[in-house]
Chains A and B, each alone.
Chain A
Amino acid sequence: MPEQSFQHRKAYAAALLTFLVPGLAHYMLGRRGRGLALFAIVMSTFAMGLVYHGALFTPFADSWLYRLGAIAEMGLGALFFLGHLLGWGGITTARVIHVMYGYGNTFLVTAGLMNMLLAMDAFDIAIGRKT
């Protein structure tokens, strides 16, 4: 029983690590190459979103569509909050009318969703569900 509890704690810690740095949990669980590759993929998707003038939404927005976007982008964990702190991807008129704005949002939302899947994958690996 205590061993099972330790496994669960380890699994939750792994999921949490993913929200700190994408791919870190995979790296710590011994899948070093995969962890580095996943870090590069999620970071590239996030960077492309910012390059394409995508917005980091806020969960307190008036539009429910923006709020949904914020939930997906929150999957980025620390990056989402760091982005807001540093003022990346703020919703400005210049950004919204930019021709690549829609693509940028798609990249950012996808990066968040990818990281959520990574957290679940790390959880499964840590708990022994995935070999």
Chain B
Amino acid sequence: MLADHMLSLLIFSFLVALFFATVLHRDRKSFIKSVLKTMGWMVLGALAFAWLMLWTAK
């Protein structure tokens, strides 16, 4: 169950990061950097938000 949530988070953030990198970047280096940066922040942000929800529910 938790693995399903994590998997959808990874797929979602990957697709969104890929989309913005494709629209905004031309060279390979900045493209990869943009994908990793966007994906990383999305995953971290979502996990932080989930933790906050868990913490406030206690």
Contact = CB atoms under 8 A, between A and B. Distances in A.
Interface of A: 34, 37-38, 41-42, 44-45, 48, 52, 99-100, 103, 106-107, 110, 114, 117-118, 121
Contact of A110 (B4, B12, B23): B12
Contact of B19 (A52, A99, A106, A114): A114
Given A117-B23, A121-B23, A41 B12 contact: no
Contacts of A45: 15, 19
Given A45-B15, A48-B15, A100-B8, 19 more contacts: A37-B18, A41-B18, A41-B19, A42-B19, A48-B11, A52-B8, A99-B1, A99-B4, A103-B8, A103-B12, A107-B12, A110-B12, A110-B15, A110-B16, A114-B16, A114-B19, A117-B23, A118-B23, A121-B23
Contacts of B16: 110, 114
Majority SS at the chain A contact face: helix
Contacts of B8: 52, 100, 103
Contacts, number: 34
Nearest to A117: B23
Contacts of A110: 12, 15-16
Nearest to A104: B8
Interface in B1-53: 1, 4, 8, 11-12, 15-16, 18-19, 22-23
Contacts of B1: 99
Contact of B22 (A38, A48, A107): A38
A42 B12 CA distance: 11
Contacts of A38: 19, 22-23
